[in-house]
Structure 1
């Protein structure tokens, strides 16, 4: 006998024993698991679990049997047969690899092996534990299978208004269990009718009973896949997760002769996002008092089911003036107080800890989330602005008209540079039309800033109003070059002190003269002029869609602006009210010929969707099915319908019963709500009859 034959013959009993023990333990456990799944999940999942469990038992037995190989056999032979003199490995060695002495020893032990029967080599284990474990598993499986049904909702009589025909399945009892999502905190409930309103994400379980039992049944939905019903004992069961509203009817095989069952609807209630309101302070903007070191802020967050126990407070600190505004941002975690549906988040802001020491703003905004699972809804509440005003120097006379720093006009040139660099660094690069549009928008901002600076050089902004933005780029070029605007003001003649012309020159509208509008020293004026010139070059490049060419000019303009801000003082001239001159020739004459019209332009009416009206007219025509298909497509594409489920149900009823006039009228009633309302006409007022006309004729 060769070595492989000896190995297979002597290890086969050990492998069989391992297979027997594995099967004796694994099969009862598989039966127990199958019974549990069948009890709570149905026959199909139970069969899947049984197949997987048996495959696992076989795989485990195969793996355990592999350890009984030749190495194990040699050790077992040496331990079980002392007469082999620890030389059993020679029985499995090839003859050409042995020495003469080893061949002699192999022949001696081979004769001893053949002379005496081989004892069992596998170590015997007690069978009592295996038998007890198998018995417990089988008893538990029988107990699970025989356990009575869990107490559910009591079935209520069903009344669908269909005639009872002999041999035709008819729905006799019904119940609908609703298990809301855990995050809502609502308890499970049972409904005796099949029309319910549930929170979105609820688990629904139908329990239906027919007489007699049909061969098959399902919940036929409108616009969705049918929900299959499974038969368990006397009842038909189905489960469904209600993520969206649903319209369905109970359809049993063979019940078509009794008529069309009524439609039922499941309305889902969407979880609304949290609402955040200010509590302390209760106004968005609060001006801090001098020397105030801290402030208390409080928000109140509400939700329909629950607000998260913690929230984040976003704090932005802005300090400085002009181009020297510095920003810092941080997030704080706050714990709320109060019930789950309304929580109050309060904290005290320490300005020194935030680094808020100069004039500027502290903006606080609460970021809160609800408890919806698996994805919570997060919202950002309103912002609270805590403002610390800059100190204003007090004085009188000419000193009151001085500014130590430039006004708030000079604060956005840096932002224009940031926007242009962000546009160039954006990846992937926007399309050409979008890139040009965004570059043009940045150029428009550059133009507005240039015109604001131009006011301090005595330039007009256009239209005779210093707060209106011009729209003619050629006019802007002329202004940048120093052209003066023509206001048709009376020229001031040189005269002595106290003359009328001197009073007009002193208090009149003189801002079209650069030197009279802003008293700047010549060096500052030259620097500001260079800033305006570079702004114009930057604007031109941005308007042409070349932000890279505009950046050098924008940086030069920023440097010149910084130099202007470092001027010691800037004197602003006093200007009076610029009112139009009164035409004394027309005064008190009653002439109204030159007055403009006061008629408001008519606004364009919203476009009217003619599809529902066309379908309304086509319902009685020969192509009724095509009209119903068009109405179904229009309903899916129109999210603004007040009750889409009712309209869909009416469409389905007419489609199934085309000869039912009452069903068609119900569909018209639903469509009446979506038809465009006619524009009311204007009726002419009555003339009052004979007496009224006589009175009107008598009027002069």
Structure 2
């Protein structure tokens, strides 16, 4: 076969013509399917249906074009070109199997085809194309233009409660369709009322009817924005995504139409998942002899579904004191679904079980292993995450520590003084978190770090003789449980004196009495005094810790970090200090002047009246409107406007701003409605700012009290 002639040059144009013809015939069917989807569901599903239907038409056309193969080409060549002498099959024969005469005939056929290339493309199906497009246009026009009369028969009666005025449009039928987000797994539903609660992100479709028909109508939000209604025959429709809770009313554009009441749409926010630890049953576990793995079991729940996989964060702390090094590793854990699952198959509860390989983590003696599971839900977009409580695996204490060797080898500071660096790490991690947690969660995490800072400050304070907060001494009473019959009583062990002689305890001795009933402000470990320089450094560290705790409790970790770094530097100085074993002495208080007791002498004493403190003036609008609503007359519209302006300031005493706005609107629409007035008064009463507590004046002296004061020669 010569290079001037290739059979593919004849087949490809025919295949393209065949595919184009089939697509033109089948495209009207895809257009009709898209129109049906648009009328039934909406424009976005209609586009998806059109794309899928057109792809199916193209795939069928390509499959049909594959039938134009070599056999079809041989038949078309013999039928279209009589000068080929019915020998077109020689063009595809193998050279080795042809006789010299056959090769000569093929050369003649190739020259004839190269001289006049035949057009083997099939003719256009003009009649079929025109008929299908005509039928499709008629069907699309019928789908779009013919109103859906059935929808008016399934609408619920209106709940606007507006008077019927002849010739003035008013709402007579209503229906609200709720399509929740796909990740929730909830089915679409129809609500007869216009006040609904739906998951955040739901699509809302209103179907309304008016009598008589208005020229136009809108959904008017409480903030003044409008969503126009679209008329489709006798039905008016609108669509909106519920991204937040709001108030709205259905308003027909017509002169003389009454202002309808407000309706409420509550956006139910998807709660984050919840994680709890199933095993182990305690937060701190000790490594047992021969243990090679650490089994962990977690249970996670969510409103709409928990993701199939979770992240197990493992942190290994190695070292002692402030020189602690951390290694982190993240392991993906797959959970098993419980019996409860949504319609989409997403389980609302999952169980995550994993056995941590200690050898693979290089978990050696003296290290701590901290595990925390992070789970996500199925919210789209932006899945929410939740963390479990931390689980700690620790090696048990060594034999020397267990036998009380701490009393022989005393450290400058105990082992629990190694957490100031961790407080800094936690604060920096909270600031670097992206995305930033919600303000309530951010404040809670910062307050939790501040609580850890407080515990560390109290422990350091014991070395300065400070009293622990919240610690009360036991009462000096014999409240101990009486010995039972099974537990025989034994005398207390004798004590060893300094000379080596063993003497029994003596009742009433000063040392024993102080040991049993004394209220000490420190522990035995803190019963020493540091040298002045070390004490000053420790006092400075405590002051810095106090400032760091203050800012952390106020939700400002950035302001707390400089003080935490200062405290860490001072702690390192204290760790390098030596200890001085010096007896602690108590304060020397001035002696009490016994000669002035019960004499009535008030020399040098004077009245000290507290200066009045100016109270912060509250907004007078809520109190004024509350008093005005108590009367039976109408309320001044200016007062209602002032109350709305006060509500826009987001006062702290108002929990439900939408209910407040609806109550104000109800009073404005119907000033004579007693129930509306009482509802607004109730909301105002709960939102009132309580007056600050004041010092009560001293009561006047009674006759008996005056005689007593006269006897003491005291003038009141």
Q: Which TM-score band applies after superposition, normalised by the shorter structure?
A: 0.5 to 0.7
Aligned partner of 1:282 in structure 2 is 281
Alignment check: 8 A CA contact 1:315 1:364 kept? yes
Aligned partner of 2:219 in structure 1 is 219
Residue 165 (1) aligns with residue 177 (2): no
After superposition, where does 1:277-676 map in structure 2 within 5 Å?
277-337=276-336, 338=338, 339=340, 340-393=347-400, 401-402=408-409, 407-408=414-415, 465=465, 511=528, 578=584, 580=586, 609-613=618-622, 616=625, 624-638=636-650, 640=652, 641-655=654-668, 667-676=680-689
Structure 2 vs 1, CA of residues 134 and 512 (structure 1 numbering), >3 Å: closer, same or farther? closer
Structure 2 vs 1, CA of residues 169 and 136 (structure 1 numbering), >3 Å: closer, same or farther? closer
Alignment check: 8 A CA contact 1:366 1:381 kept? yes
**Deviations 1:624-651 (Å, cap 9, x if unpaired)?**
4443333223323316523222221233
Structure 2 vs 1, CA of residues 289 and 203 (structure 1 numbering), >3 Å: closer, same or farther? same
CA distance in 2, matches of 1:386, 1:606: 54
Q: If you compute each CA radius of gyration, which structure gives the higher value, 1 or 2? A: 1
The structural deviation recorded for 1:39 is 3.2
The structural deviation recorded for 1:618 is 9.3
CA distance in 1, matches of 2:690, 2:413: 59
Alignment check: 8 A CA contact 1:615 1:630 kept? no
Aligned partner of 2:7 in structure 1 is none
Structure 2 vs 1, CA of residues 680 and 211 (structure 1 numbering), >3 Å: closer, same or farther? same
**Deviations 1:564-614 (Å, cap 9, x if unpaired)?**
79xxxx9x88888x574899999x999899xxxxxxx99x99967435435
| Consecutive unaligned residues in structure 2, runs of 5 or more | 1-20, 51-118, 341-346, 430-452, 469-497, 501-523, 545-558, 600-609, 710-716
The structural deviation recorded for 1:363 is 0.9
Q: CA RMSD in A?
A: 6.1
SS of residue matched to 1:186: coil
CA distance in 1, matches of 2:624, 2:464: 58
Which TM-score applies when normalising by structure 1? 0.55
The structural deviation recorded for 1:683 is 9.9
Structure 2 vs 1, CA of residues 364 and 606 (structure 1 numbering), >3 Å: closer, same or farther? farther
Aligned partner of 1:273 in structure 2 is 272
Aligned partner of 1:241 in structure 2 is 241
After superposition, where does 1:59-78 map in structure 2 within 5 Å?
none
Structure 2 vs 1, CA of residues 359 and 135 (structure 1 numbering), >3 Å: closer, same or farther? same
SS of residue matched to 2:687: coil
Structure 2 vs 1, CA of residues 138 and 367 (structure 1 numbering), >3 Å: closer, same or farther? same
Alignment check: 8 A CA contact 2:619 2:646 kept? no
Structure 2 vs 1, CA of residues 416 and 159 (structure 1 numbering), >3 Å: closer, same or farther? closer
Structure 2 vs 1, CA of residues 203 and 417 (structure 1 numbering), >3 Å: closer, same or farther? closer
Residue 181 (1) aligns with residue 181 (2): yes
Aligned partner of 2:39 in structure 1 is 39
Structure 2 vs 1, CA of residues 198 and 262 (structure 1 numbering), >3 Å: closer, same or farther? same
**Deviations 1:437-486 (Å, cap 9, x if unpaired)?**
xxxxxxxx9xx99x98xxxxxxxx99962899xxxxxxxxxxxxxxxxxx
The structural deviation recorded for 1:656 is 5.3
CA distance in 1, matches of 2:253, 2:617: 45
| Consecutive unaligned residues in structure 1, runs of 5 or more | 1-20, 51-119, 423-444, 453-460, 469-495, 499-506, 518-527, 540-544, 594-600
How many residues are treated as equivalent by the alignment? 494
Which TM-score applies when normalising by structure 2? 0.54
Structure 2 vs 1, CA of residues 390 and 370 (structure 1 numbering), >3 Å: closer, same or farther? same
Moved more, 673-682 or 283-292: 673-682
Alignment check: 8 A CA contact 1:360 1:390 kept? no
Structure 2 vs 1, CA of residues 467 and 362 (structure 1 numbering), >3 Å: closer, same or farther? farther
**Deviations 1:392-448 (Å, cap 9, x if unpaired)?**
4169899951259985388589899999x99xxxxxxxxxxxxxxxxxxxxxx9xx9
CA distance in 1, matches of 2:699, 2:413: 67
**Deviations 1:512-534 (Å, cap 9, x if unpaired)?**
597xx9xxxxxxxxxx99xx99x
Structure 2 vs 1, CA of residues 679 and 413 (structure 1 numbering), >3 Å: closer, same or farther? closer
CA distance in 1, matches of 2:424, 2:198: 54
After superposition, where does 1:98-247 map in structure 2 within 5 Å?
125-135=124-134, 137-138=136-137, 140-141=139-140, 144-145=143-144, 154-247=154-247
CA distance in 1, matches of 2:167, 2:385: 57
Alignment check: 8 A CA contact 1:274 1:369 kept? yes
CA distance in 1, matches of 2:307, 2:322: 40
The structural deviation recorded for 1:166 is 2.1
SS of residue matched to 1:183: helix
The structural deviation recorded for 1:316 is 0.4
**Deviations 1:495-521 (Å, cap 9, x if unpaired)?**
x999xxxxxxxx9x994597xx9xxxx
Structure 2 vs 1, CA of residues 149 and 327 (structure 1 numbering), >3 Å: closer, same or farther? farther
The structural deviation recorded for 1:282 is 3.1
**Deviations 1:275-323 (Å, cap 9, x if unpaired)?**
2222212332233335533222222222222221211111101122124
Structure 2 vs 1, CA of residues 607 and 202 (structure 1 numbering), >3 Å: closer, same or farther? farther
CA distance in 2, matches of 1:241, 1:349: 45
Alignment check: 8 A CA contact 2:311 2:375 kept? yes
Structure 2 vs 1, CA of residues 335 and 224 (structure 1 numbering), >3 Å: closer, same or farther? farther
Alignment check: 8 A CA contact 2:273 2:301 kept? yes
**Deviations 1:16-42 (Å, cap 9, x if unpaired)?**
xxxxx9999899689758855863589
The structural deviation recorded for 1:161 is 2.4
